[in-house]
């Protein structure tokens, strides 16, 4: 499986031009967004019946978390171009995904 760096390159290019928060502030923002994702999942799974959120709230919050992660990377490695950083991230994802798949038990054939 090969993850395309194009998925990140455009967002990293925008962040390289516009975003100026420092990495520590972005980690705080990431924590906030992760909490919002956790709450959306809890609501979606029925653990917070007193709350209501849109049907795709978990997807929206996951997107916020991913964008915050990209922001952190863009601030930690300002000397790297968005394309270079996106390529490195995609390579790491490919490697980690391959290791994850290799550790999974083989599916049993259905009878």
Q: Where are the chain's structural domains?
A: 8-80
Query: What whole-number distance in Å separates Cα of residue 92 and Cα of residue 5?
Result: 11
pTM: 0.79
Query: What whole-number distance in Å separates Cα of residue 96 and Cα of residue 87?
Result: 14
pLDDT score at 19: 62
8 Å CB contact between 37 and 62: yes
pLDDT score at 8: 80
pLDDT tens digits in sequence order for the chain, 111 residues long: 576 788 788 888 887 777 677 888 889 999 999 999 999 999 999 999 999 999 999 999 999 999 888 888 888 898 999 889 989 998 998 999 989 988 988 777 776
How many of the other CB atoms lie within 10 Å of CB of 70? 22
* Token pair listed for 15: 């962040």
Q: Identify how many contiguous H helices and E strands the chain contains and give both numbers.
A: 4, 0
Query: What whole-number distance in Å separates Cα of residue 63 and Cα of residue 111?
Result: 39
CA 69 to centroid of chain Cα atoms: 6
* Token pair listed for 49: 């019946």
């Amino acid at each position: 499986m090969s993850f395309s760096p194009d998925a990140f390159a455009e967002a990293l290019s925008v962040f390289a031009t516009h975003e100026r928060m420092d990495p520590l502030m972005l980690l705080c923002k990431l924590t906030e967004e992760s909490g919002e994702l956790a709450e959306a999942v809890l609501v979606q799974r029925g653990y917070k019946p007193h709350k209501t959120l849109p049907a795709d709230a978990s997807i929206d919050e996951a997107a916020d978390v991913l964008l915050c992660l990209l922001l952190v990377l863009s601030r930690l490695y300002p000397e790297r171009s968005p394309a270079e950083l996106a390529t490195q991230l995609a390579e790491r994802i490919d490697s980690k995904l391959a290791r994850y798949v290799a550790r999974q038990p083989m599916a049993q054939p259905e009878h």
